[in-house]
Amino acid sequence: MSDDKQQENTWNYLNENLTQWVMESKSHSMEGNVASYIPELANAPKDILGICIMDSQGQTALSGDHDFRFTLQSISKVFTLILALMDRGEEVVFSKVGMEPTGDDFNSMLKLELVEPGIPFNPLINAGAIAISSLIAGNSPAEQTDRMLHFFRDIADNSTLDINLDVHQSESDTAHRNRSLAYFLKDNGVLDQQVDDVLEVYFSHCSVEATCTDLARMALVLAHNGVDPIRKKQIIPRRFVQIAKTFMFTCGMYNASGEFAMNVGLPAKSGVSGGILSMVPGRYGIGVVGPALNRKGNSTAGVHLLGTLSQKFDWSLF
**Spatial distance between the Cα atoms of 208 and 74, rounded to a whole number of angstroms:** 10
Q: State the minimum distance, in angstroms, from the CB of residue 206 to ligand GLU.
A: 4
Q: State the minimum distance, in angstroms, from the CB of residue 219 to ligand GLU.
A: 17
Strand order of the β-sheet with 162-163 is: 70-71, 208-210, 162-163
Which residue, 132 or 227, is less far from ligand GLU as judged by CB? 132
**Spatial distance between the Cα atoms of 271 and 273, rounded to a whole number of angstroms:** 5
**Spatial distance between the Cα atoms of 283 and 4, rounded to a whole number of angstroms:** 12
Q: Beta 292-293 vs 208-210: how paired, if at all? A: unpaired
Contacts with ligand GLU, 113-132, as mask; x by CB under 6 A: -------------x------
If DSSP codes are grouped into helix, strand and coil, which group holds residue 278?
Answer: strand
Question: How far is Cα of residue 131 from the mean position of the Cα atoms in its chain?
Answer: 17
Peptide bond before residue 117 is cis, with ω within 30 degrees of 0: yes
Q: Is 254 annotated as a binding residue?
A: yes
Q: Is 202 a catalytic residue?
A: yes
Residue 299 contacts ligand GLU per CB under 6 A: no
Q: Is 13 a catalytic residue?
A: no
- Taking phi over 0 as left and psi of -120 to 50 as alpha, with beta for the rest, 282 belongs to left
Given candidates 60, 63, 73, 257, which one binds ligand GLU under the rule CB under 6 A? Answer: 73
Contacts with ligand GLU, 205-244, as mask; x by CB under 6 A: -x--------------------------------------
Given candidates 25, 74, 145, 164, which one binds ligand GLU under the rule CB under 6 A? Answer: 74
Residue 134 contacts ligand GLU per CB under 6 A: no
Binding residues: 74, 126, 171, 178, 202, 254, 272
- The residues of the shown chain that bind ligand GLU, judged by CB under 6 A, are 73-74, 106-107, 126, 171, 178, 206, 271-272
The residues annotated with a catalytic role in the active site are: 74, 77, 202, 254, 272
